A and B are shown apart, each in its own frame.
Chain A
Amino acid sequence: MKERLGVYICHCGGNISDYVDVEKVRAAIEHEKGVVLAKTTMFACSDTNQTDMVQDIHEHNLDGVIVASCSPKLHLTTFRNVTERGDLNKYTYVHANIREQASWAHSDDKLGATEKAIRLVKAAIAKSRYADPLFPNQFEAEKNIAVIGGGIAGMKAALSLAEKKSNVILIEKENRLGGHTAEWGSLFMTDEKGFELTARIENDLRKYNNVTILTGAEVIDTKGSIGNFELKIRRRPQNDGDPMEIVELHVGSIVVATGYDHYLPKQGEYGFGTSETIITLPEFKQQVDKATGKSLEFKGKKINNIAYIYCVGSRQNEGENTYCSRFCCTSAIHTAIEVKKKFKGMQNIHLTRGIRTYGKQELLYAESLQMGDLYLQFDENNLPEIRSEGKKTVVTVKDILSARKEMEMEVDLVVLVTGMVPRPDQSIGTMLKLPKGRDRFFNEIHMKLRPVETVIDGVTIAGTCQGPKNISESVNSALSAATKSFSYISKGTLETEPIIAEIDQDACSWCDKCSNACPFDAIDQIEMGGRTVASVNPMVCKGCGMCAPVCPVDAINLIGYTSEEMMSMIDALA
C-alpha cells in the first residue's frame, strides 16, 4: 500500500484550466489519504515540470506518482519514464484523464467538469495505492528460426536470415525447393524464367552452412511459444526402404510460407474437362515455354486464335472466392505478348472483367493493345459461354464495351485465367492457431501496418499464404517476415509485459473454465501439493483478462486490474 503519493494537476495552458478549476481540484484531493504533495502545473509534459517531478520524487521520498492531464494515449509513457528517472518502478505511475474526458467533453459545464475531474483524480489516487512495482518477465530465447515452406517466399526468408547469421531450418513438403515459381517459365516485368530465379536463390542458400534444408518434410506437431517452440517433423526417407524419420527441433520463432494452390476449375466450368482445347493459364504457360518451333501446336493441332477468359475462380459471384487474385491479369497479358513475339499469325482475344494491371504493370497492357490484342469485357451476371461444335470451339460473350452486343467467335484454344486459392491442407495453421480470414488465407495482426505479424507471438506469415501476391510482393513480404522473426529473438532474451492474469492457487480447484476462456492457450493445469490447479504461462498470457470473470470461485485477477483496485476506484467515483 502506497503512503507517499505525489499528485500533479495540469492546466494544459488553458485547455484544462479554462473549464476545470484546477486549484479547486488540488484543494479537494490534497488531504486524501497518502497524498503528501499536490501541485498544479502549467504543462505537466514540459521539460521543466518533468525535471521538477524527478526532484520531488527524491526530495519528498514519494512512492507513487499521479498526473492528471490529457489522455494516457498521449503521455502515459512520458510520465512512466519520468517515474523511472526518479528511481521508481514505472508501473507505480497512475494517470488521470481530465482533458479529453473532463474539460473538453464538458466545456459546456464548468462546475460539472470540475466535479468530475475531482472524482477522476480521487479514483486515480485509489488505484495508485495498489499500484505495485512490476517487472517484465525475462527468459532465454532459442536462436534458431524455422521457415515452413520452400517456395520463393520461404527460400528468400531463409536466405535473408542466413545472411544475418541466424541458424535457419527450411522445411519443405515436396522433394525439391522452388514451389510454384519453379514451375513458371518467363515471368512478367523482367522476363527471367521462374526456374532460373529459384535456382539462383537456391544456389545462394546452399552457400550458407547455417542453413539446414529439410525437403520431403512435414511439421506434424508444434508446442511452446515465442522463444521456445518445439516442432516435430516427419521426413520421408532419403533412401528407399529406410523408415520415416522424425526430427525434433527447438526454435525461437517461425516463418510460415506455405504458399497457395492454383484454382482448379470444376468439371464443366467454362467447358473445362469437356474438351482438350480448354486449359488453364499455368498449363498454357508451360506449353508456350516448351514450344520451340515457329508456330504453336497443341495436341497435334496448330493454334492461331486464343481466347483468354479472366477471373476464373476469382471474384466469384456465386462461389466462395470473392477476392481478386491480383497476379492473373498481368500474367495472362504477359503470356499473350510472349505468344505473339514467339509465334507467327497469332490472335489473342481477352475476355475480361476489367483489366487490373496495376502500377507499372500497366505498361504491359498498353503494349498488348499496341500489338493488336482484342479486349472484350463481360460482367458477373453474363458469363461467356463455350461450346464445342465438332472440332471447333465457339465462345460467345455479351461485350459491355460495345453496348452488350453478343459476340460469337471461333477459337483454337481457350485459356482459363485461373487465380490463387489457399492450400487445402492448413494443418500448420491449425497447429499454431493462426487465424484465417473470410478468404481462408492466413490473417495478419493488422492489415495496414502489421502485414506479416500474427496474433501468435513469434509466428510470422510470408508470401501467398497470407493472400494472393506476385513474386516481387511475395519476396518483400518474405523479407519483412524474416526481419520481424529475426528481431524477436536476436537479442537472445525476451521480455513480456508484466500485466498478466494471476491465479490464487489456494482457492483454485481446477474446473477448466479459465483455460477454455483463454484465447491464447496460456492456462494449463499443474499439480501442486497433491491438487490439480490452474497455472498461467507468463510468456503466453497477453493480459486480456478474459479468464477472470469466468472463475466460479473468483480466484483470478488481472494484475493492474484486480477487484480490489477496481472496487476502490468505483468507491472514489461514487
Chain B
Amino acid sequence: MEERKIIKYDALVIGAGIAGGEAAINLANTGYKVLLVEKDHSLGGKMILLSKVFPTLDCAACITTPKVSEIARHKNITVFTESEVTHIAKKSDNDFVAQISKKPRYVRVEGCTACQLCEKACPVSVRDEYQFGLIGRKAAFIPFSIANPKAAVIDIENCTLCGACEKACPTHCIDFTMETEYYELHAKTVILATGFNLFDPLEIPRFGYGQYKNVITSMQMEREIAPTRPYNTILRPGDGKVPDRIAYVLCTGSRDNTVGNPICSQICCMYSMKQAQLLMGALPMADITIYYINIRSFGKGFEEFYQQAKGMGVNFVKGKIGKITEKENGNLILRYEDIAEGVVKEAEHDMVVLSVGVKSNPSAGKIFDGNSLKLDPLQFIAQKDLLGSPAKTSIDGVFVAGTASGPMDIPDSILSAGSASSEAISYLTRYQSV
C-alpha cells in the first residue's frame, strides 16, 4: 500500500472544464477552500479548445483564458492536474473521503517558463490530441499555446528516455524521478463536473470517417478555424487543398437509435452554423451546405443567428444522409433523402464535416460505493429532483454541474454550475453550525 498524504478541503470539485471551474470559483469567492481535480494537463476542458462561440462569435480562447487564470490564481482554490479521483466514500453527512492519484508530469511546473526548447530537442513525434490528430506533437510538449498551467509535459508512454529535453531545459525543471503521488482527501461536499465525451463517428461506418481523409469531425474543424489553429489556414487533410464545397452532416450520433443515442445533443445545430459563418468569412468563395433533420436554434439570440446564417448564404438542406462515398480526387458523394422534395439525391462536396454529438461520460458512476450514485439510462448522472433542484444527485451532499447530467451549451453549463455551487454552499452552511 502506497503512502497517502492526508489533505482537507471544504469542497471537492471533479473536472476543471468550464462548469467545474465556475462551480469552484463560486465556492471560493464565498470563502470555502476548494480542491479542483482535473485528469488532463490543463484547465479549461473542451471550451478552451474552441474557435469562437455562438451566437456572439466571441473568441472562445479570449473569454476562457481570463476565467481559467482566475481559477488558477484564486487563493481558495488548489488545482490538481493529471489527477484522478479513484474512490469516494461517504463516512457521514459532511465527511466524504476521496482517494486521489496525481500522476507525474516529469516537469516541475514552478520552474518551467514554456520556452519550448524541450519541444525542439525532443526527437519523438506523435499524434497531437489537442489538435484532434490534425498534426503531430513531440513527446516533450506544451499541451497547447493557451494551456493553464502553461508548462511542458513529458508524455512518458511515448518518451524514449533519450534525455535530450533534460539537456535542453534552461531552468533544469525536467525531472524523470517524479512518481505518482497518492492523497486521501477529506471534504464536506462534492461537485461532479465530469463533462461529456464526443461521439466517435467510427461507429457509423457508412459515413467513411477514418477511411476517407476529407471526412472530418466538427471538433477537427473547430481547431482548423481557431486562433491557435494548426495550419494557419483552412484546408482538407487529404491533399492540403483549400476546400470550396463543404458539407455538414448534423445529428451524427444523435437522435439515432442505431448507435444507442436517441436524444438530441443540443449544441450541434448551433456550432455547425457558427462554423459555417466563420468559414464563409475565411473562404468567401466556398459553398457551405448543412444537411439537417430539424434546426434547433432555441436559445437566446439563436434563432436570429440561424436567420443570419441563411442570410449569409449558407445552404440548408432538410435531408438525412444515407451514405458517403469517395471519388478518386478525394471529393465525396453524399447520398441523401431530400425531405422537402421527397426524393433521394446525390451531391458532391470536397470536404465533409460530421457534426458529432454529445455522449455521456459515465466515469463518475464508478467512483462511489455500489450503485449509490445513480445514472440515467444514457449513463448521464441522474438528477433526483430535475425541476425543483436540478443539481441534486442520488447522494445527499453530492451535486452535478454541467454536461455530466446531459447535453447543454456553455451558458446552460454555467447556470448548472451556479446551481450546483449554490446547493453545495447551502449544504456546507447546514452542517457548519452542527
Interface 1/0s, chain B 55-68, versus A by CB < 8 A?
A: 11010000110110
CB distance from A393 to the nearest CB of B (A): 27
> Does A571 have its Cβ within 8 Å of any Cβ on chain B?
no
Interface mask (A464-478 → B, CB under 8 Å = 1, otherwise 0): 001110011101110
Contact A46 B111, beta carbon cutoff 8 Å: yes
- Determine the distance from Cα of A477 to Cα of B418 in the docked complex, in whole angstroms: 7
Say yes or no: A360-B426 contact (C-beta < 8 A), given A486-B30, A490-B31: no
Task: Report A446-464 residues with CB < 8 Å from chain B CB.
Answer: 446-452
**A357–B421 touching, CB < 8 Å:** no
A163 and B426 in contact, given A187-B387, A323-B304, A475-B390 (Cβ under 8 angstroms): yes
Q: Which of A358, A400, A483 sits near B340, CB closer than 8 Å?
A: A400
B425 touches A472 (CB 8 A): no
Cα of A224 to Cα of B325 in the assembled complex, Å: 66
A45 vs B149: C-alpha distance in the bound complex, in angstroms? 13
With contacts A14-B115, A165-B429, A483-B422 taken as known, whether A476 is within 8 angstroms of B415 at the C-beta atoms is yes
> How far apart are the CA atoms of A153 and B171 in the complex, in Å?
54
Residue of B58, B63, B418, B430 touching A479 (CB-CB under 8 A): B418
A467 adjacent to B342 (CB under 8 Å): no
Give which listed residue, A43, A77, A366, A447, contacts B301 with CB less than 8 A: A447
**Bound CA–CA A481/B414 (angstroms):** 11
The interface centre, meaning the residue of B69, B170, B300, B378 with most chain A CB atoms within 10 A of its CB, is B300
Task: Give the CA-CA distance A160 to B392 in the complex, in Å.
Answer: 13
Q: In residues 303-323 of chain A, which contact B (Cβ within 8 Å)?
A: 315, 322-323
1/0 contact string of A313-339 vs chain B (CB within 8 Å): 001000000111010000000000000
Q: How far is the CB of B210 from chain A (nearest CB, A)?
A: 27
User: CB of A197 within 8 A of chain B?
Assistant: yes
B415→A362 contact, CB < 8 A: no
Q: Do B294 and A356 have beta carbons less than 8 Å apart? A: yes
Number of interface residues of B (CB under 8 A): 75
A356 partner, pick from B67, B296, B383, B422, beta carbons under 8 A: B296
Check if B303 sits within 8 Å of A315, measured CB to CB.
yes
Interface residue? A553 (CB, 8 A): no
Q: Which residues of B contact A471 (CB under 8 A)?
A: 387
Is the beta-carbon distance between B388 and A475 smaller than 8 angstroms? Answer: yes
Measured in the bound complex, the distance between the Cα atoms of B391 and A444 in whole Å is 22
- Check: A558 CB closer than 8 A to any chain B CB: no
Q: Contact: B303 with A13, CB < 8 Å? A: no
Which B residues are in CB contact (< 8 Å) with A201?
388
B30 lies within 8 A of A363 (CB): no
Least CB distance, A514 to chain B, in whole angstroms: 30
Tell me which residues across on chain A come within 8 A of B69, comparing CB atoms: 77
Residue of B nearest to A487 (CB): B29
Task: Indicate whether A547 reaches chain B with its CB closer than 8 angstroms.
Answer: no
Q: Which of A438, A447, A480 contacts B422 (CB 8 A)?
A: A480
**CA–CA, A504 and B90, complex, Å:** 62
Q: Which residues of B contact A84 (CB under 8 A)?
A: none
A361 within 8 Å of B by Cβ?
Answer: yes
Residue B372 interfacial (CB < 8 Å): no
Residues in chain B near residue A475, CB distance under 8 A? 387-390, 419
Give Cα A466 to B418, complex, Å: 16
**B298 & A324 in contact (Cβ 8 Å cutoff):** yes
Give min CB distance, B34 to chain A, whole Å.
13
Q: Are A362 and B425 in contact (CB under 8 A)?
A: no
Distance, CA A315 to CA B171, complexed state (A): 59
A476 pairs with B263, CB closer than 8 A: no
A267 at the interface (CB under 8 A from B): no
Q: Is the CB–CB distance between A359 and B300 below 8 Å? A: no
Contact in complex: B115, A192 (CB < 8 Å): no
Q: Is the CB of A189 within 8 A of B386?
A: yes
The answer to whether B53 touches A362 (Cβ under 8 A) is: no
- Residue on A with the closest CB to B23? A483
Which residues of chain A come closer than 8 Å to B73, judged between CB atoms? 77
The answer to whether A449 and B410 touch (CB under 8 A), given A163-B430, A323-B303, is yes
Contact residues in B for A164 (Cβ distance below 8 Å): 425-426, 429
Considering the complex, give the chain A residue whose CB is closest to the CB of B257: A366
Q: Are A476 and B416 in contact (CB under 8 A)?
A: yes
A439 within 8 A of B: yes
Q: Is the CB of B56 within 8 A of A448?
A: yes
Q: Are B63 and A449 in contact (CB under 8 A)?
A: yes
- By a CB distance below 8 angstroms, the chain A residues around B339 are 400-401
A447 lies within 8 A of B411 (CB): yes
User: Which residues of chain B are near A322, meaning CB under 8 Å?
Assistant: 303-304, 307
With A and B bound together, what is the CA distance between A366 and B303 in angstroms?
A: 23
CA distance A46 to B302 in the complex (A): 44
- Segment 361-413 of B: residues with Cβ below 8 Å from A: 376, 378, 383, 386-391, 406-408, 410-412
Q: Contact at A326–B294, with CB atoms within 8 Å?
A: no
Q: Does A402 contact B (CB under 8 A)?
A: yes
Q: Which residues of B contact A165 (CB under 8 A)?
A: 429
Q: Mark A202-244, 1 if CB is under 8 A from B, else 0.
A: 0000000000000000000000000000000000000000000
Give chain B residues whose Cβ lies under 8 Å from the Cβ of A366. 262
Residue of A nearest to B341 (CB): A403
Contacts of A450 in B (CB 8 A): 414
Instruction: State whether A448 touches B411 (Cβ < 8 A).
Output: yes
Interface flag for A249 (CB, 8 Å): no
Nearest B residue to A472 via CB reads: B390
Complex Cα–Cα for A197 and B29 (A): 31
Point out the residues of chain B lying under 8 angstroms from A160, CB to CB.
Answer: 422-423, 426
Chain B residues within an 8 Å CB radius of A480 = 414-415, 417-419, 422
Q: When chains A and B are docked, how far (Å) is the Cα of A17 from the Cα of B426?
A: 53
Task: List, in ascending order, chain A residues with CB within 8 A of B22's CB.
Answer: 449
Q: How far is B410's CA from A450's CA once the two chains are assembled, in angstroms? A: 10
User: Is B264 part of the contact surface with A, judged by Cβ < 8 Å?
Assistant: yes
Chain A residues whose CB sits within 8 angstroms of the CB of B30 once the complex forms = 483, 486-487, 490
Render B289-302 as a binary contact track against A, CB cut-off 8 A, 1 for contact.
00000111111111
- Given contact pairs A400-B340, A448-B411, a sample of 12 additional A-B residue pairs in the complex whose CB atoms are under 8 Å apart: A47-B111, A73-B66, A197-B388, A322-B303, A322-B307, A363-B262, A403-B342, A476-B391, A476-B419, A479-B423, A483-B422, A487-B26
A-B contact pairs, 27 of them (CB 8 A): A13-B117, A42-B113, A43-B113, A47-B111, A163-B429, A164-B425, A164-B426, A358-B296, A362-B262, A400-B339, A403-B340, A403-B342, A439-B301, A441-B300, A447-B411, A448-B56, A448-B63, A449-B22, A450-B414, A452-B415, A476-B415, A479-B423, A480-B415, A483-B30, A484-B26, A487-B29, A491-B31
Using a CB–CB distance below 8 Å, which chain A residues touch chain B? 12-14, 42-43, 45-48, 73, 77, 156, 160, 163-165, 187, 189-190, 192, 197, 200-201, 315, 322-324, 326, 354-363, 366, 400-404, 437-439, 441, 446-452, 466-468, 471-473, 475-477, 479-484, 486-487, 490-491
Interchain residue pairs A-B with the least CB separation, the first 3: A480-B418, A13-B115, A163-B426
